Amino acid sequence: MTRRTTIYDIAKELDITAASVSRALNNNPKISESTRKLVLETAAKMNYKQNRLALALRSGKSNNVGVIVPRIDSNFFASIIRGIEEELYSVGYHIIICQTHEDAKIESDNINTLLNAQVDGILMSISNVINENNDIMKRVVDKNVPLIFFDRKKHIDGVSSVTIDDFEGGYLATKQLIDEGCNRIAHFTGDQSLEIFQNRTKGYKKALEDNGILFDSNYVFQIKSNVDAGRLAIEKLLSLENPPDALFSTSDFAALGAIQVLKEKGITIPEEFCVFGFGNEPFTKFMELSISSVDQSPLEMGKMAAKVFLEQINNNENLKIEKKVILKPELHIRKSSSRNSNLR
């Protein structure tokens, strides 16, 4: 095994002190430009690699930022990560990506690992174990490490967040279905322990109320965000004595499952049944029957979360000031919910 080159090896090669080599490598103004250049050239020839962790311990800054998401095999979270990386890489930061798989222990381990790695901040979307890990998240704040939530969040003093207006997204999607003539609107929601799904459901209920439509709990299903869950739930809805004539789903994948079953049963979309999803996944616009959906602006969300981090890291006074950024949802109305338009 090849031994790593150290600053002592460089010092010996140049016949100077190790302290002088260290100062040169870290651009200390006490070192002349000629010496700095000579040290850097020699370090490159000897394949010297700086110990980033040791450097972080000395300087108090690692130029690394932790990003925690429930999963990375999702266009939504992948786009957020891209936005974060685009914003931070240009100013010298690298990101360390972790995923929780909706597991409280993994989430806690991720946070501990990032803290031990001396990251300069943690940007995260919490897992659906909403009441877990509060203590370790407060520990992040107590250590003066900026913590920024995006999409999924919880309320912790001193923690900023970047989300979309989920209430408005749920309201506008439901209102669009009502405007198309639907009055028996079903709703697929997610884990109600998470604020984002609570707010989308509240928006759905408010739209019904404002338009004189009675809320029917038989039309509401809390399901997972996947095609199979959507298929099973729509089967149950269609078996009701008075089945719905529309669906607002907080998941595009569940909406897709519902559409598959509706087609198999010969129910025409949107003439007999309208569907509106949430997330604006790429497949929604490329299908022959394109799916209406609420866009969550993940790229912009990632960029904004990174900007909030930079504001806090560059001004210590802001570390424990909560900044709540709420982005506007955008409706993409397509064939699946357009009875009265020229989209069909």
pLDDT at 107: 93
Claim to verify: residue 264 and residue 302 sit in the same structural domain = no
pLDDT tens across 258-317, in order? 999 999 999 999 999 999 999 999 999 999 999 999 999 999 999 999 999 999 888 766
Evaluate whether residue 342 is within a structural domain: no
Q: How far apart are CA 164 and CA 156, in angstroms?
A: 18
In this prediction, residues 66-77 reach a mean pLDDT of: 93
| pLDDT for residue 130 | 62
- Is residue 1 situated within a structural domain? no
Q: Are residues 145 and 227 in the same domain?
A: no
Specify the range with the lowest mean pLDDT, choosing from 56-60, 132-136, 245-249: 56-60
Tell me the chain's radius of gyration from C-alpha atoms. 26
**Does the pLDDT at position 136 exceed 60?**
yes
Higher pLDDT, 164 or 141: 164
pLDDT band at 173 (very low <50, low <70, confident <90, very high): very high
* Residue 303: predicted pLDDT: 97
Residue 155, classified by CB atoms within 10 Å of its CB into exposed (0-12), middle (13-18) or buried (19+), is exposed
CATH code, domain carrying 28 = 1.10.260.40
Within this chain, do residues 181 and 205 fall inside the same structural domain, yes or no? yes
Distance CA 255, CA 274 (A): 10
In a domain? residue 44: yes
Mean pLDDT of 154-183: 95
Number of domains in the chain: 3
**Residues 314 and 249 sit within 8 Å (Cβ to Cβ):** no
Q: 193: exposed, middle or buried (C-beta count within 10 Å: 0-12, 13-18, 19+)?
A: exposed
Distance CA 247, CA 1 (A): 62
Q: Are both 149 and 235 inside the same structural domain?
A: no
What per-residue confidence (pLDDT) applies to 156?
86
Are 192 and 286 part of one and the same domain? yes
Q: Are residues 306 and 224 in the same domain?
A: no
In this prediction, residues 84-92 reach a mean pLDDT of 92
What pLDDT is attached to residue 55? 57
72 shares a domain with 129:
yes
Domain span at residue 18 reads: 7-50
Is-contact 332 292, C-beta < 8 A?
A: yes
Q: Quick check: is 2 in a domain?
A: no
pLDDT (tens digit per residue) in 111-122: 999 999 889 999
* Cα(311)–Cα(334) distance, integer angstroms: 38
Judge whether 265 lies within some domain: yes
Any domain includes 343: no
What are the angstrom distances between the C-alpha of 291 and each of 252, 269, 279?
8, 10, 11
Query: Is 52 or 29 the better-scoring residue by pLDDT?
Result: 29
Reduced to 3 states, what is the DSSP secondary structure of residue 110? helix
Round the average pLDDT of the chain to a whole number and report it.
Answer: 90
Q: Rounded mean pLDDT of 1-26? A: 82
Q: What is the pLDDT of residue 131?
A: 65
When comparing pLDDT for 201 and 340, which is higher? 201
d(CA 256, CA 205): 22
Can you give the pLDDT at residue 91? Answer: 87
Is the distance from CB of 163 to CB of 325 less than 8 angstroms? yes
Regarding whether 188 and 97 lie in a shared domain, the answer is no
Q: What is the pLDDT of residue 301?
A: 97
pLDDT of residue 320: 63
Residues 115 and 185 in one domain: no
Question: Confidence band (pLDDT; 50, 70, 90) for 150?
Answer: very high
Percentage of the chain with pLDDT > 90?
66
Do 111 and 230 belong to one domain? Answer: no
Q: Which residues contact 284 (CB under 8 A, 6 or more apart)?
A: 252, 277, 290, 291, 292, 293, 332, 334
pLDDT for 225-256, tens place per residue?
A: 999 999 999 999 999 999 999 999 999 999 99
Q: What is the dihedral of CA 71, 72, 74, 76, to 10 degrees?
A: 100
Q: What pLDDT is stored for residue 7 in this prediction?
A: 83
Smallest CA-to-CA distance from 46 within 63, 21, 29 is with 21
42-73: buried (b, 16+ CB within 10 Å) or exposed (e) per residue? Answer: bbeeeebeeeeeeebeeeeebbbbbbbbbeee
Q: Are residues 302 and 289 part of one domain?
A: no
| CATH number for the domain harbouring residue 264 | 3.40.50.2300
Residue position matching structure tokens 């909030």: 308
Among 242, 260, 258, residue whose Cα is nearest residue 188:
258
Q: Do 170 and 158 fall within a single domain?
A: no
| Residue linked to tokens 């040169």 | 24
Annotate 293-318 with three-state secondary structure: EEECCHHHHHHHHHHHHHHHHCCHHH
75-89 vs 298-313: helix axis angle to the nearest 10?
40
Q: 94 φ, ψ to 5°? A: -115, 150
Q: What is the pTM of this model?
A: 0.81
In a domain, 55, yes or no: no
**Domain-embedded: residue 313:** yes
Cα distance between residue 235 and residue 159, in whole Å: 42
